[in-house]
Amino acid sequence: MRRIDQLSRALGAIAPAGVSIAAGTIDIDDSRFLHADERRAFDGANAARLAAGGAVRALARELLEVHGVAAPVIGRTPFGAPVWPKGMVGSLAHDETTAVAAIARADRIALLGIDAEPAEPLPEEVWDLVLDPRDRWRDALFKAPDRIAFCAKEAVYKAVHPVIGRVLDYDDIRVDLPSLAALTASGHRLSLRIHESTEIVVIAFAEADVSGR
Ligand SMILES: CC(C)(COP(=O)(O)OP(=O)(O)OC[C@H]1O[C@@H](n2cnc3c(N)ncnc32)[C@H](O)[C@@H]1OP(=O)(O)O)[C@@H](O)C(=O)NCCC(=O)NCCS
């Protein structure tokens, strides 16, 4: 795993305050970054999947170190959600070549999800599955707004699922790209941050309630 400086800088520029975020390459020998306990959670995975899991964990560990937090093992729940050290929240994503990780302290950020997608239009045959007339995405000033809406729903899912413990369908998540906002059927409101270049990356987050109520 090598940091991708340009994408990491671009993501850092859109990241909400308190969120550390970075992108890195996935190299075929990156499975070496998986600790034995992590590797057990990837039982049956092929070499490419192990490499992606290793690369994204190496990246996340670097980000955690900046927060002064050691994380020898970033495990997975039975649903596949990453398990973070106490007091931290985070999210991971990877495609064939690129890994992205986002980390924050739980006393600043309550919900955090990230997803990465190739910057290509979503095949029209999946529009009905993913998009709903109540989603606002067509009027957004993006080259592939349909793909961004899909990416946003996946980022929202990753942020909310570990908290509610139940699977959300695409239809359970409303996205409003012009307002950079999302709302889930579970009642969670999230803000969105969107990066679009050759790669689409969406960060979904909700700040922690610091009012003390
Ligand atoms: C999580 C999910 C939405 C996207 O995963 P994906 O596109 O296959 O893969 P990505 O590279 O984007 O993300 C993979 C990472 O997501 C994270 N992840 C997986 N399941 C997760 C969950 N339930 N909650 C939070 N994060 C999760 C993991 O860190 C994983 O990396 P790892 O396996 O190396 O630890 C999908 O796998 C899933 O679980 N879908 C079931 C429910 C669904 O599809 N609902 C509609 C979506 S809105």
Q: For ligand 1, pick from 33, 76, 94, 154 the residue to mutate: most ligand atoms within 8 Å of CB.
A: 154
Amino acid residing at 123: P
**What domains does the chain contain, in order, with CATH numbers?**
5-109 (3.90.470.20), 117-190 (no CATH)
- Digit-coded pLDDT (tens) for 17-38: 999 999 999 999 999 999 999 9
In 3D space, the residue among 161, 154, 168, 164 whose CA is nearest the CA of residue 202 turns out to be: 154
- Digit-coded pLDDT (tens) for 128-157: 999 999 999 986 689 999 999 999 999 999
Answer whether 0.75 is exceeded by the pTM. Answer: yes
User: Ligand 1 in contact with 54 (CB < 6 A)?
Assistant: no
Distance, in Å, from the CA atom of 65 to the CA atom of 58, rounded to the nearest integer, reads 11
Q: For ligand 1, pick from 1, 42, 92, 167 the residue to mutate: most ligand atoms within 8 Å of CB.
A: 92
All residues at 6 or more sequence positions from 157 whose CB lies less than 8 Å from its CB, including other chains: 113, 168, 173
